[in-house]
A and B are shown apart, each in its own frame.
Chain A
Amino acid sequence: MTRLRAFTTDADQPLRQHAYQSPLRDERLAAILGVALGVLFAICFVTGLYSHLHQHPLSWLPMPARPAGLFRVTQGLHVAAGIASLPVLLAKLWLIWPRFVSMPVVKRVSHLVERLGLLPLVAGSIFMVFSGVANIAQWYPWRFAFPAAHYWIAWVTMGALISHLGAKWVITRQALRRPGRRPALAEADPFIGTSAEVPHPGLSRRGFLGTVTATAGVLTLSTVGQTFRPLRRLALLAPRDPDVGPQGRPVNRSAANAGVVDAASSPNYRFRVVGRVERQLTFTADELGALAGHEATLPLACVEGWSYSARWRGVRVRDLLRMAGAPSGVECRVESLEANGPYRVSSLDADQAHDIDTLLATHLDGQQLDADHGYPLRLIGPGRPGVNQTKWVTKLVVV
């Protein structure tokens, strides 16, 4: 028991590095890593919430169609910040790990509240980073639906982070206010702990922080090119290349995976405009191709953090609405040939439906759409997540 005690720390005192033999276990370092992690998680949470609201729109909160590249930026940030947080999280957990085994387990009510909050904080943080990294690599070792699980555990993790922030506010501010190089106060004043760094072989605290930053930096540089084009050639570890795929563009769901190969190429294919319209419209694939007269350069930005910008040609949704005699300012639902799947249907609010560049496209970069890109018809609108750019469109429903 005494040996265990010697190995652990008193949770209410500054980290006592001598007890577990690393000069790196320092409260200032823990505070800096904590702040970095807090910033990265905040970026992930806000951008993630933005993506969630696009996919699960609230009637009173229309999602902006403009700027057209906004979602590309927010979701690129979401994935990049999540990837960068991997080494920061591991470093932070390594630094404070001895506290998990601190004795006694519980001292006071406040201590119990703080320790209980660490369960959702640690488990939630690990879950968020692990599930995100696995998902962008399209590795699904679980049985739950990733978006729902990632979303609700984000709330659990953020709640735990809020609680942790209040518990650590004072000690973090004190640790950050203190200058980096401190006199060896440890012997004179044990309350400060052995937080002055004595000369030692191996990584210094500054070196450790630099190494964690470098790890995050190398991970960012080797992945961010999947959405940030100037760094494309460095993207050695990115799950996507914006120039590789059918017609030189990546896709997330192939026609075969969606089970639409036959229906999309069938001569019986029809596209219909129905719902609150004066006259229903029906088009064949050839008629759509002949009608497609509007061109727009728009990004396709996947929720998994890759994106590309391309030239699309098609029919404006608002022109179709006018042809069908729909009332002004209506909203629409776009339906795919897919028999099922969470992204079979997407919605266009009034702003998005009437945007000058919201198209039902037949052509990509001047060529007829490949089956994997949604032939004969796909939705492409400004500022929307890729999963909402419905492919293999067969119905536009005015609601």
Chain B
Amino acid sequence: MSQAPNPAGAHRRGPLFWLSAAAGWAVIGYGLRGLLHHHVDTRPSNLATFFAGGALIHDLIVAPLLIGVGVVIGRYVPGRVRAVVQAALIVSGGLALFSYPLVRGYAHRLHNPSSLPHNYTANLVLVLAIVWTFAAAILVIRLRRREG
């Protein structure tokens, strides 16, 4: 694909861009000043590890992994069922990610019985079963419709 020339004015940045950039960076500065000022609570070096670490883990591991999964699905899952499988996997992934600290039960070390009162492994399996049953039902309806 040849590189098309940019349309006239596409690179021009108006006052909205510069005003919001100035206001935005001022607010960022306020936040940074606050977290440095309250360093006893915010532990800037530990916070920086989590701040940068989250972005790096996402950009270098999670995102490429998801794209890889997408490629694998595109190659091996038949077109007729692909959309439903993709949708069910996305819902399942979101649920699993949210449930991770619940399933691991980190809160139990506080010995507070009202914290994490359920069996989250069983509950996650139950919710995932509902999601995949629903997905299977949609798939059956879609395939029938296509045949009929």
Q: Using a CB–CB distance below 8 Å, which chain A residues touch chain B? A: 10, 12-13, 16, 18-22, 83, 86-87, 90-91, 93-94, 97, 100, 107-108, 110, 113-114, 117, 119-120, 122-124, 126-127, 130-131, 133-134, 137-140, 142-145, 147-149, 151-167, 169-170, 190-191, 201-204, 207-208, 210-212, 214-216, 218-219, 222, 236-241, 244-246, 249-254, 256-257, 372
Kindly report which residue of chain B lies nearest to residue A16, judged by CB atoms.
Answer: B1
Query: Is B4 an interface residue, CB under 8 A from the partner?
Result: yes
B113 CB to closest chain A CB (Å) equals 7
Q: Is the CB of B115 within 8 A of A219?
A: no
A216 CB to closest chain B CB (Å) equals 8
Provide the residues of chain B in CB contact with A204, threshold 8 Å.
Answer: 83
A6 CB to closest chain B CB (Å) equals 8
A111 CB to closest chain B CB (Å) equals 8
Q: Is the CB of A162 within 8 A of B94?
A: no
Instruction: Contacts A86-B94, A236-B127 known; list 15 others, CB within 8 Å.
Output: A12-B6, A91-B90, A137-B116, A138-B115, A142-B47, A142-B50, A143-B46, A167-B21, A190-B4, A191-B6, A201-B82, A202-B79, A216-B94, A218-B95, A239-B115
Q: Is the CB of B17 within 8 A of A144?
A: no
Kindly report which residue of chain B lies nearest to residue A118, judged by CB atoms.
Answer: B55
Q: Is the CB of A219 within 8 A of B94?
A: yes
How does the 8 Å CB contact mask read for B13-24 relative to A, with 1 for contact and 0 for none? Answer: 110111111011
A395 CB to closest chain B CB (Å) equals 25
28 contacts between A and B (CB under 8 A): A16-B1, A86-B94, A90-B94, A97-B63, A122-B55, A134-B101, A137-B116, A144-B43, A147-B41, A149-B35, A149-B43, A155-B27, A156-B35, A157-B31, A159-B26, A162-B20, A163-B21, A191-B6, A202-B86, A211-B91, A212-B90, A214-B87, A218-B127, A218-B131, A219-B95, A236-B126, A240-B114, A372-B112
Interface set, chain B 87-110, CB cutoff 8 A to A: 87, 90-91, 94-95, 97-99, 101-102, 104, 106-107, 110
Q: Is the CB of B42 within 8 A of A160?
A: no
B23, B27, B131 — which one has the most chain A CB atoms within 10 A of its CB? Answer: B27
How far is B70's CA from A163's CA once the two chains are assembled, in angstroms?
32
Q: Is the CB of B114 within 8 A of A245?
A: yes
Query: Is B139 an interface residue, CB under 8 A from the partner?
Result: no
Instruction: Tally A-B pairs: CB < 8 A.
Output: 270
Q: Is the CB of A149 within 8 A of B41?
A: yes
B95 CB to closest chain A CB (Å) equals 6
How far is B145's CA from A363's CA once the two chains are assembled, in angstroms?
62
A360 CB to closest chain B CB (Å) equals 23
Provide the residues of chain A in CB contact with B11, threshold 8 Å.
Answer: 12, 107-108, 110
Of the residues B7, B20, B50, B127, contact of A127 by C-beta under 8 Å: B50
Q: Is the CB of A148 within 8 A of B95?
A: no
Kindly report which residue of chain A lies nearest to residue B17, judged by CB atoms.
Answer: A166
Q: Which 10 residue pairs of A and B lie closest in terms of their CB atoms, listed nearest first?
A: A166-B20, A163-B24, A155-B31, A201-B79, A159-B27, A245-B114, A159-B28, A138-B107, A137-B101, A152-B35
How far is B83's CA from A275's CA once the two chains are assembled, in angstroms?
68
How far is B43's CA from A147's CA once the two chains are assembled, in angstroms?
12
Provide the residues of chain A in CB contact with B123, threshold 8 Å.
Answer: 236-237
B125 CB to closest chain A CB (Å) equals 10
Q: Is the CB of B17 within 8 A of A167?
A: yes
Q: Is the CB of B115 within 8 A of A240?
A: yes
Kindly report which residue of chain B lies nearest to residue A18, judged by CB atoms.
Answer: B1
With A211-B86, A239-B116 as given contacts, are A137 and B79 in contact (CB-CB < 8 Å)? no
Provide the residues of chain B in CB contact with A153, threshold 8 Å.
Answer: 31, 35, 47, 51
Of the residues A156, A191, A246, contact of B28 by C-beta under 8 Å: A156
How does the 8 Å CB contact mask read for B110-148 relative to A, with 1 for contact and 0 for none? Answer: 111111111010011011000100000000000000000
With A13-B6, A245-B114 as given contacts, are A100 and B83 in contact (CB-CB < 8 Å)? no
Of the residues B30, B63, B114, contact of A159 by C-beta under 8 Å: B30
Provide the residues of chain B in CB contact with A97, threshold 8 Å.
Answer: 59, 63, 67
Q: Is the CB of B31 within 8 A of A83?
A: no
Provide the residues of chain B in CB contact with A10, threshold 8 Å.
Answer: 3
A205 CB to closest chain B CB (Å) equals 11
Of the residues B32, B54, B104, contact of A130 by C-beta under 8 Å: B54
A193 CB to closest chain B CB (Å) equals 10
Provide the residues of chain A in CB contact with B43, threshold 8 Å.
Answer: 142-145, 149
Q: Is the CB of B31 within 8 A of A152?
A: yes
Query: Is B72 an interface residue, CB under 8 A from the partner?
Result: no
Q: Is the CB of B127 within 8 A of A237?
A: yes
How far is B20's CA from A13's CA once the two chains are assembled, in angstroms?
21
